[in-house]
Amino acid sequence: MPADAEPGDHAGGILAVSVVEQDDGPSVGYAAGTRLYVRVAGTVAPAVDVDRLGGAYRGRIGPVSPGALDVEATLVNSGNVRLDPRTVVHVRSLFGLWTATVPLHDVGEVLPGGATTTSGTLDRVPPLGPLWLTLEAPDVTSRGQDLTAATAVTGPATLVWAVPWTLLATLVLLAAAAGLAVRNLRRRVPGTGTSGATSTIHDSPGTPRRSESRPHITGVTVSPDPGAGGERPTERGAP
- Examine the domain organization and report whether 26 and 59 are in the same domain: no
pTM exceeds 0.85 for this model:
no
- Examine the domain organization and report whether 71 and 156 are in the same domain: yes
- 80's CB contacts (< 8 A; 6+ apart) are 6, 7, 8, 9, 44, 45, 46, 112
Task: Report pLDDT for 124.
Answer: 93
Residue 111 CB: number of other CB atoms within 10 A?
A: 15
Q: Is residue 158 part of a domain?
A: yes
Q: Is residue 146 part of a domain?
A: yes
Q: Is residue 222 part of a domain?
A: no
- Examine the domain organization and report whether 25 and 100 are in the same domain: no
CA distances for 60 relative to 70, 71, 163, angstroms: 14, 17, 11
For the chain (length 239 residues), average pLDDT per consecutive 10?
85 90 86 90 93 92 84 96 95 94 94 95 93 96 92 93 70 73 76 49 54 52 53 51
Among 116, 148, 168, identify where a domain stops.
Answer: 168
What residues make up the domain containing 15?
8-40
Number of domains within the chain: 2
